[in-house]
Amino acid sequence: MQGMNATNTLLAKSFKELALKHPIEKITIKQITDKAGVIRPTFYNHFQDKYELLEWIISTELLEPVRPLIENQMINEALLLLFMNIEKEQDFYIQAVRLEGQNSFESIARSCVQKILLEIVKVNAKEKMHKFSWLTPERIAEYYAQSMCSVVIVWIKSKMAVSAKELVEIYDYMLNHSVAEILFGVPNDNIM
């Protein structure tokens, strides 16, 4: 397993370096393997295509480090770590968000975030009933994955115009205030 992770990391590093010079959709598997110093079959022993490699990068480098924080209800700390890790490799992520279409960065990232949130919600939802039966673990994970990815993608596209810390404060504000309160300044106690 350790050799597998080392190779995955090597391929990811190669891919990220190439993405700084070329649009991701134009990067070939041969370019990735040549830069990594491995043969093409090695890539296919690890990933189906470069989009699966991007999924691995998001899951392994961005989401797995924040998982223990989320599981321990340290949401703002998890978000700060996530945003700081994106900031560290901002040039790569600025290129990655340009990836659109069937294998867009947004759809890959949302799928990764939704998967980890669903796992966490399912573990914590055991024996807990929500007020609304329609509010399934899948719908909860989907909602928060869409919300988080939307904020992060707009932030990346703005070339990270605010710091990771400020973005956590903004996201926390949006999560903890009603739409009416944010749009119209109506306090929560005046809402049904």
Q: Which residue positions in the chain have pLDDT lower than 70? A: 1-3, 126-129, 188-192
pLDDT for 185:
84
Q: Spell out the residues 6+ positions from residue 94 whose beta carbon is closer than 8 angstroms to its own.
A: 156, 157, 159
Q: Which two tokens stand for residue 151?
A: 């904020």
CA–CA distance, 145 with 86 (Å, rounded to integer): 16
**Which domains are present in the chain?**
1-47 (1.10.10.60), 49-190 (1.10.357.10)
pLDDT for 116:
95
What 3-state DSSP class applies to 165? helix
CA–CA distance, 11 with 60 (Å, rounded to integer): 13
Nearest CA to 83 out of 189, 19, 9, 172 is that of: 172
Model-level pTM?
A: 0.90
CB 12 within 8 A of CB 54: no
pLDDT for 189:
57
Q: Which helix (H) or strand (E) holds 158?
A: none
